[in-house]
Structure 1
Amino acid sequence: MTSNVHLAGHMAAAALSQAELADRLNRQIEHLTGRPGSLQARHIRNWLGGKTRWPQERQRRALEAEFGVNAEDLGFTPRTRPSSHPDLVPPEDSVDRRHFTVSAAALAAATLLSIPDATARPRVGMGDVEALELRFAELVAADNAAGGTLTLETRALAFAHHALERIKVGTASARVQNRLYASAAAFTGTALWSAIDAREVDRAERHFDRALRYARLAQDPVAELRLWSHQVLLSGQRPGGRNEALAAAEAGRKSSACRRDPLYRSLATTRLASAQAQVGEYTNALRSFDHARASLRQADPNGQRPSWIGFYDEAELNGLTALVMDQTGRHAEAEKHLHQALTRLRPDLVRNRNYYSAALALVQLRQGEVEQACATALTALPARAGDSLSGRTRTLLNNFHRNLHDTAPNARGAAEWKSRYTEAKGFQ
């Protein structure tokens, strides 16, 4: 399993296999020290898997020369503060600059975006920003279809790196620079969401810290609002994180973006409702959902907004309401809201359809509708080998399977469910 997604993202962007990276780093080490390195693919595999969290210094220097970023930005964690070794520093204008340019070009080829020679200090303009925003919209569409995956996460990190490199290697107006930081925040936010969807809490926390820093450098309250919205869900996944989730929701609700646009205010208020429910404030949670509906009715459906918020509409609000209704034991009302959500959900939101179908199956099972629950749960399973479920949907279906086994293992629909569920788990 890949745990160092930062290194994986840079490798994917440069189209490097483990063996290819080892060969390139051995050449870098030879240039730095005068003796060839002895890295093999297994060393790269240990870095990716987290077995080796802080490579030897000459290996780190080679990595930094190859990718043009420091070792910590490549996902490595120092045991102690790295010491300086002048004998490992190449002469000015030598391999560092040359290999940085080569790696940047490889990144550009992989992402279909161009990075000019860093020595030229090219002008970076709105065309560069618009190209990044187009790629961001493509990642959002991929997430809507399949949910958070490691591939999506690493691609998002590679694009974030690309946006930051535009700032480093070029000259830009303050407006363009802010937009580039906003792009870095957007892509890192997508990596954050992918990690949340996969329930990789520690990894998601690291993405959140970086994304929030970029959003603040961009002076972008909408980007910050998105991150606080994600933090509500992330904190809820961490044991003992309920109060932190509530604080994150309140921070998002106070955003200036919420004052300017009722749609953002509606989304932030649903996150507040979810956080209130987590700490047992059910009356406040239901009241917050009423406020969220009122704000949604006030929002201009044709307003210009970033693509990430395209998922949020009346269907999503019904789905989120249902989850809290279920928490309060109001299962019949939860079922009604879930049916409304699934009826109104856009066809491209496949990930959300699977998630709310799994939630509906659980609600039906809790009401004793065993056969209907099994039929509903089957609709949330992958249609064929190679398809996948997001981590949160998989968790709901695992819960459904356990609850069905505990309450009605001999029901007519249980046998088909068990067979299909076991088959699906085999190719997840």
Structure 2
Amino acid sequence: MASSTVTSSQPDRPTRPNLAFRQLRGRRSPAEFAALVRRAAREIGERVSCDARYVGRVEAGEIRCPNYAYERVFLHMFPGRTLADLGFASRSSVRGRGARPAGAAPPAYATGETRGAIEPYDTEDPYDPHENHEESDVLRRAFMTGGGATVAAVTLSPLGLTIDAAAAPRPLRRAGSPEAAALEEAVRRIRLLDDRHGADGLYRRAAAPLRAAYALLDAGATRQTTADRLHSGAGELAISVGWLAHDSGRFDDARSHYAEALATARMTGDPGLEAHAFCNTAFLARDAGRPREAVRAAQAAQRAARPLGSPRLMSLLALREAGGWAGLADRTGCEQALARAQALFARGHSDADPEWMSFYGEAELEGLEAQCWSTLGDWTRAARHARRAAQLQDPHFTRNIALYTAELADDLARGGHPDEAALAGLHVLDLLDQVQSSRIQTMLAGTARVLLPHRRASGVSDFLERHASLPRML
């Protein structure tokens, strides 16, 4: 990512909180407000990757003037207001250059001029195959070389962690804030791409920055605060890569990455990272057919997360526990955990909610509950929750819409509603042009097997024919 440090033409000055922007957010959480920004961007054909961290940086005054894409989105959200009304500095005062002439249209895309001190987040997604035809080169060069005490020199570009291929092998330099910031950006971008497109096309490329991240840890940092950020960032990246492995059916790889993140959390005493690692471990154990391990891991996650003060996090972890109890066919244990999850969710957002939980809203709550009832064989109740999950999901999370709809199709098929199941299955097939997820394809394959005896029913033959034409999973 582009550095957030100022250039020589911009003297250091203390940041001032953007109170006007904070007031506009009102009672919404940063994650909820970020979702509104993304939705407003879609309304005017812009692409911005706004998340809770970006909102926090704006409110803290770290982003004194947004890039042109964000400017268009904010002015669309708040008609009649200027950037000054939103608490931003003028572009000329931030850059030390002349401002855009009055009435002139901003550039169509952010350029090198619009990044850096003004706006550390690119609006375009360099990893996205639909936005960058050279995406295979983005992460390809991120690797470690050399032996003993030497590795290739690690640099961090706006596209993620890369290696300076032209540099001769030499001791890795100590990392500073730019490297920590770029590592955090790599995590954010991987998550955004998974939300849109699923894991299958990302996993192998995302593993390379992880190796580079741990090379940074081995090299050390210029100060303790940077070292803490690097450890946290490397742990979160390990979890993100582990999830990509998990969602693409590579369970052994996922288990290894989650264990790596857990070890990092334990070494640094990071309860948030520990809770996240255990959360994903519980999910993996459930999917891998180890429900008792899922229960234990979810309970361990809750112990780690309790001091953090995030009801939403505790709600998600209770759902992970419920999934384990369902796998053990313990209906009472499952219902008790579901009740806790719902009560904790109802407490709403808090400032203690981790950034990685931006996916967890009412739709995910409904989707995970649907999975529990499906595991217990209550197809009617499972279908009701799966349908609601698909209806509630923010369009940004394309993969989750496909997942919930696949769950709905399977529940309807097993519950004796082949026509409705086929219709839902066809909708998932339409989404597979955008989403690559082995897990979703596995669910569809199961639904197709259940629907085979009903091939003469309305719509079922269409679904079966289209499903049979899908490329085989590797």
Identify the residue that residue 375 of structure 1 maps to in structure 2: 423
What is the distance in 1 between the residues matched to 2:161 and 2:232? 20
CA contact (8 A) 1:229 1:268 kept: yes
Question: Is the aligned partner of 1:142 residue 2:142?
Answer: no
Structure 2 contact 278–300 (Cα < 8 Å) conserved: yes
Q: Deviations over 1:294-337 (max 9, x none)?
A: 11122325x26444211111111111111112233332222221
Three-state SS of the structure 2 residue aligned to 1:425 is coil
2:394 match: secondary structure: coil
1:101 paired residue among 145, 149, 152: 152
- How big is the shift at 1:252? 1.0
2:236 maps to 186
**Match for 1:15: what amino acid?**
R
* Partner residue, 2:464: 418
Residue range with higher mean Cα deviation, 291-300 or 210-219: 210-219
Which residue, 431, 439, 448 being the options, matches 1:392?
Answer: 439
Task: Answer whether contact 2:315 2:344 (CA < 8 A) is retained.
Answer: yes
Question: Does the CA contact (< 8 Å) of 1:228 and 1:249 recur in 2?
Answer: yes
Q: Does 1:252 align with 2:301?
A: yes
Give the whole-Å Cα distance in 2 for the aligned partners of 1:117 and 1:389: 38
Deviations 1:167-209 (A, max 9, x none): 3335322222121011111111111111111121222222222
| Cα pair 2:141 2:163 within 8 Å, conserved | no
Please name the residue that 2:126 is paired with: none
Q: In the alignment, residue 181 of structure 1 is paired with which amino acid?
A: H
Q: Is the 8 A contact 2:261 2:277 kept in 1?
A: yes
Q: Give the equivalent residue in structure 2 for 1:273.
A: 322
Structure 1 residues 218, 367: CA separation in 2 closer, same or farther (over 3 Å shift)?
same
Q: CA shift at 1:158, angstroms?
A: 2.3
Q: Is this contact kept in 2: 1:196–1:233, CA < 8 A?
A: no
Query: Shift of residue 126 of structure 1?
Result: 3.1
Give the equivalent residue in structure 2 for 1:196.
246
Q: Answer yes or no: is the 8 Å Cα contact 2:175–2:220 preserved in 1.
A: yes
Q: 1:131 aligns with which of 182, 199, 207?
A: 182
Which residue of 1 is the match for residue 203 of structure 2?
153
Q: 1:285 Cα deviation (Å)?
A: 0.9
Q: Is the 8 A contact 2:235 2:265 kept in 1?
A: yes
Structure 1 residues 253 and 401, CA gap change in structure 2 (3 angstroms): same
Q: Secondary structure at the match of 2:452?
A: helix
Structure 2 contact 399–435 (Cα < 8 Å) conserved: no
Deviation at 1:215, TM superposition (A): 2.2
Instruction: Give the aligned partner of residue 365 of structure 1.
Output: 413
Aligned to 1:334: 382
Does the 8 Å CA contact 2:310/2:353 hold for their aligned counterparts? no
Q: How far is the alpha carbon of 1:121 from its aligned partner?
A: 7.3
Match of 1:300 among 343, 346, 349: 349
CA 1:124/1:187 → structure 2, altered by over 3 Å: closer, same or farther? same
1:423 shift after superposition:
2.1
Give distance in 2, aligned partners of 1:112 and 1:207: 18
2:370 counterpart (305, 322, 326) = 322
Structure with the largest fraction of helix:
1
- 1:271 partner SS: helix
Per-residue CA distance 1:129-166 (angstroms, 9 max, x = gap): 222212211110101112212x4223332222232233
Return 254-263 or 185-194, whichever deviates more.
Answer: 254-263
Q: Is the 8 A contact 1:123 1:171 kept in 2?
A: yes
CA contact (8 A) 2:195 2:399 kept: yes
> How do 1:212-231 and structure 2 match up within 5 A?
212-231=262-281
CA offsets, 1:57-91, max 9 Å, x none? xxxxxx9xx71368xxxxxxxxxxxxxxxxxxxxx
What's the offset of the Cα at 1:398?
Answer: 0.5
Superposition RMSD in Å: 3.0
Equivalent residue number for residue 331 of structure 2: 282
TM normalised by structure 2 equals: 0.64
Question: Residues 179 and 218 of structure 1 are in contact (CA less than 8 Å); yes or no, is this contact kept in structure 2?
Answer: no
Match of 1:68 among 146, 149, 162: 146
Aligned equivalents of 1:316, 1:341: Cα separation in 2: 6
1:357–1:246 distance in 2 versus 1, CA, 3 Å: same
- Residue 313 of structure 1: aligned partner: 361
Contact kept, 8 Å, 1:178 with 1:217, in 2: the verdict is no
Q: Which amino acid aligns with 2:291?
A: R
Which amino acid counterpart does residue 411 of structure 1 have in structure 2?
A: A
Q: Is the 8 A contact 1:326 1:363 kept in 2?
A: yes
Provide structure 1 residue ranges, at least 5 long, that are not aligned to the other structure.
1-10, 17-62, 71-95
Matched, 1:15 2:161: no
Corresponding residue pairs, total: 337
